[in-house]
């Protein structure tokens, strides 16, 4: 996985996780608080409706209920509105407090103080219903009468779900008077019997009969019982209870901390290679050329690490080459300069007599040192990319023939046959002087390595888009262990050769750099006792 994709996945993972977790926590907290708010609203409604229901069931009337409503409003902090199902207002705390009644709120509940007749265990449902209805009507009238006279009423749960009423603390005369006034009249009894008898239809049995009689009971008692009331809390436009911010903020903060922790852990894994690379680069900048980084994987960071290691290897090799170059230059110049100094001091002190032969030897030594310095300058310019080239279209056959002619006298004197073989046209775009310099180095080395009777062959051919030039000799060859060092500075196949007979040791290094600058390559193949072949490849030009 590439570094870019890893970072994208990391950021996306953290963002999605943080947003999703925060949204889930906020939704959960909000839902929980809404549920708690609704539960609290129901609890408040129960705190209001339970006393009201008890009042209506006990007193049989809603007279006197405003005092209870006011007390409930104070204890719950709610605006309470009571009205019958037909819309008649029984009590409203706004009115009780002397303010204009506001529009009703959304929270409402029904309070029905009428008892529910239970006939599940009745042997004579019609008789029981008639008796229960008559008894409850008389009882609820009694309770209402006692209430109006200011005495407390006691409700006693009776059989079949129908209560009875008494007033133990009331004046006996008031009790007797209320009992007399609450007695059922003949008309009331006939109305009740007539309504209950309506359930004596064929087919009404079991649950259906019980349901019909229960409804008849309710119809009969509704005339005298306290009517059902709709209880409404609050007012329209009332601000709902705000969501608690602290739990949501705490949850969001926790998720944010987890996201930051996850980001830190993941980013540490992602950025650790970069930190290692930065540390290694710092060590390299301070001169520690052995500094390297451990590379794992194949992403962009791993490729950067490999590039860094290659750069460090190149710098280390360059540093080593520079040290070797300085050592080699010092070694190559120390002995001839010491010889020059010795002869000059001897001449100065009169130890030896000056003669033309001595001056010629000293001049030759100075020319040799000048050649070494010139070769070093050419190599330095070539490696720095500042060596001047004047490219033109070159015929390789003509170039090889020019090189053969330049070295013909040396080859003839050494008894070596110098041959040129170009089977067809071969052209390149290059600097002719620099290519002659390359071929001159190769031919000179080949003639030195080839004994009398041997041969040096120069060939050129075109293979597709590549021009191939070969310089092959039948000389002594190069040992396999020495082949990797052929193009190194100051390397010589025969270490016993001096600079006078073995050259400066820089020719092949210069040749390789010139060929490289022309977009080509130079390689060597050799076998001891058989000979050596140098192969140059250059981009061909097709006429």
Residues 142 and 75 in one domain: no
Number of domains in the chain: 4
Whether 374 is in a domain gets the answer no
Classify 231 as helix, strand or coil: strand
The residues facing 243 across adjacent strands are none
Asked if 43 and 247 count as a contact pair (C-beta separation under 8 A), the reply is: no
Whether 299 is in a domain gets the answer yes
Residues 192 and 309 in one domain: no
Asked if 180 and 164 count as a contact pair (C-beta separation under 8 A), the reply is: no
3-state DSSP helix/strand/coil % of the chain, to nearest 5: 60, 15, 25
Residue 383 is predicted with a pLDDT of 66
The helix-helix angle for 432-449 and 507-517 (nearest 10°) equals 140
Residues 200 and 243 in one domain: no
Whether 373 is in a domain gets the answer no
Residue 501 is predicted with a pLDDT of 43
Question: Which domain does 79 fall in, by range?
Answer: 1-113+226-288
Tell me which of 271, 288, 305 is where a domain ends: 288
Residues 248 and 311 in one domain: no
Q: Which of 199, 225, 247 is nearest to 29 (CA)?
A: 247
In sequence order, the 6+-apart residues with CB closer than 8 A to the CB of 301 are 3, 273, 274, 277
DSSP per residue, 132-166:
HHHHHHHHHHHHHHHHHTT---EEE--GGG--EEE
Residues 408 and 529 in one domain: yes
**What secondary structure letter does DSSP report for 488?**
S
Tell me which of 288, 304, 330 is where a domain ends: 288
Whether 365 is in a domain gets the answer no
User: Tokens 């049995």 correspond to what residue?
Assistant: 205
Residue 435 is predicted with a pLDDT of 92
Tell me which of 288, 306, 329 is where a domain ends: 288
Whether 165 is in a domain gets the answer yes
Tokens of 492: 């010589």
Q: How far is CA 69 from CA 54, 82, 91, 132, 151, in A?
A: 13, 9, 7, 31, 19
Residue 127 is predicted with a pLDDT of 87
Cβ neighbour number for residue 473 with a 10 Å cutoff:
26
For residues 467 and 456, what is the distance between their CA atoms, to the nearest angstrom?
20
For residues 228 and 222, what is the distance between their CA atoms, to the nearest angstrom?
9
Residue 57 is predicted with a pLDDT of 85
Residues 505 and 480 in one domain: yes
Classify 123 as helix, strand or coil: coil
For residues 332 and 34, what is the distance between their CA atoms, to the nearest angstrom?
95
Residues 298 and 330 in one domain: yes
Residues 408 and 535 in one domain: yes
Residues 414 and 325 in one domain: no
Residue 235: its H or E element: strand 229-235
Q: What is the mean pLDDT of each run of 10 residues along the chain (543 residues)?
A: 64 74 74 72 87 87 88 88 89 88 85 88 84 87 88 88 89 88 79 82 81 87 88 78 66 72 68 80 84 79 83 82 71 72 83 82 76 72 74 92 90 93 90 90 92 94 92 92 83 52 67 91 93 94 77
In sequence order, the 6+-apart residues with CB closer than 8 A to the CB of 184 are 134, 137, 138
Whether 375 is in a domain gets the answer no
In sequence order, the 6+-apart residues with CB closer than 8 A to the CB of 462 are 424, 425, 426, 468, 540, 542
Residues 260 and 329 in one domain: no
Whether 13 is in a domain gets the answer yes
Whether 120 is in a domain gets the answer no
Count of positions (residues) in the chain: 543
Residue 524: its H or E element: strand 521-527
- CATH number for the domain that contains residue 437: 3.30.565.10
Residue 60 is predicted with a pLDDT of 83
For residues 59 and 447, what is the distance between their CA atoms, to the nearest angstrom?
140
Residues 395 and 431 in one domain: yes
Residues 525 and 427 in one domain: yes
């Amino acid at each position: 996985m590439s570094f870019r994709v890893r970072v994208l996945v990391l950021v996306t993972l953290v963002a999605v996780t943080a947003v999703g977790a925060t949204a889930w926590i906020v939704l959960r907290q909000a839902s929980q608080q809404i549920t708690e708010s609704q539960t609290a609203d129901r609890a408040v409604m129960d705190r209001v409706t339970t006393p009201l229901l008890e009042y209506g069931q006990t007193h049989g009337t809603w007279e006197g209920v405003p005092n209870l409503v006011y007390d409930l409003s104070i204890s719950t902090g709610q605006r309470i509105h009571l009205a019958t199902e037909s819309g008649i207002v029984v009590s409203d705390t706004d009115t009780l407090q002397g303010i204009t009644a506001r529009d009703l709120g959304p929270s409402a509940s029904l309070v029905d103080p009428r008892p529910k007749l239970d006939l599940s265990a009745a042997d004579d449902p019609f008789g029981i219903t008639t008796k229960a209805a008559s008894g409850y009507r008389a009882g609820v009238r009694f309770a209402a009468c006692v209430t109006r006279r200011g005495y407390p009423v006691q409700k006693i749960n009776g059989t079949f779900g129908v209560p009875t009423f008494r007033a133990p603390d009331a004046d006996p005369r008031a009790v007797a008077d209320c009992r007399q006034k609450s007695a059922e009249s003949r008309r009331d009894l006939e109305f009740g019997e007539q309504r209950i008898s309506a359930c004596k239809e064929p087919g009404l049995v079991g649950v259906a009969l019980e349901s019909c009689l229960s409804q008849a009971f309710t119809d009969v008692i509704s005339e005298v019982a306290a009517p059902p009331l709709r209880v409404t809390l609050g007012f329209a436009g009332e601000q709902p209870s705000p969501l608690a911010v602290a739990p949501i903020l705490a949850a969001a903060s926790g998720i944010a901390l987890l996201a930051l922790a996850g980001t830190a852990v993941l980013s540490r894994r992602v950025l650790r290679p970069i930190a290692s690379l930065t540390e290694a680069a710092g060590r390299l900048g301070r001169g520690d050329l052995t500094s390297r980084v451990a590379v794992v994987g194949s992403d962009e960071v791993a490729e950067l690490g490999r590039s860094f290691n290659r750069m460090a290897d190149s710098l280390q090799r360059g540093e080593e080459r520079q040290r070797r170059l300085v050592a080699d230059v010092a070694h190559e110049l120390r002995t001839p300069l010491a010889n020059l100094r010795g002869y000059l001091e001897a001449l100065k002190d009169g130890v030896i007599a000056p003669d033309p032969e001595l001056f010629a030897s000293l001049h030759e030594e100075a020319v040799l040192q000048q050649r070494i310095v010139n070769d070093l300058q050419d190599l330095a310019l070539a490696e720095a990319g500042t060596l001047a080239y004047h490219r033109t279209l070159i015929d390789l056959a003509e170039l090889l023939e020019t090189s053969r002619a330049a070295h013909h006298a040396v080859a003839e004197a050494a008894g070596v046959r110098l041959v040129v073989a170009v089977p067809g046209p071969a052209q390149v775009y290059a600097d002719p002087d620099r290519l002659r310099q390359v071929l001159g180095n190769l031919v000179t080395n080949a003639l030195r390595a080839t004994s009398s009777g041997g041969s040096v062959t120069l060939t050129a051919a075109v293979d597709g888009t590549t021009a191939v030039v070969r310089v092959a000799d039948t000389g002594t060859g190069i040992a396999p262990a020495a082949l990797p060092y052929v193009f190194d500075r100051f390397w010589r196949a025969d270490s016993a050769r001096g600079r006078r007979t073995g050259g400066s040791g820089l020719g092949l290094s210069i040749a390789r750099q010139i060929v490289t600058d022309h977009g080509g390559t130079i390689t060597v193949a050799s076998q001891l006792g058989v000979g050596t072949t140098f192969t140059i490849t250059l981009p061909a030009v097709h006429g």
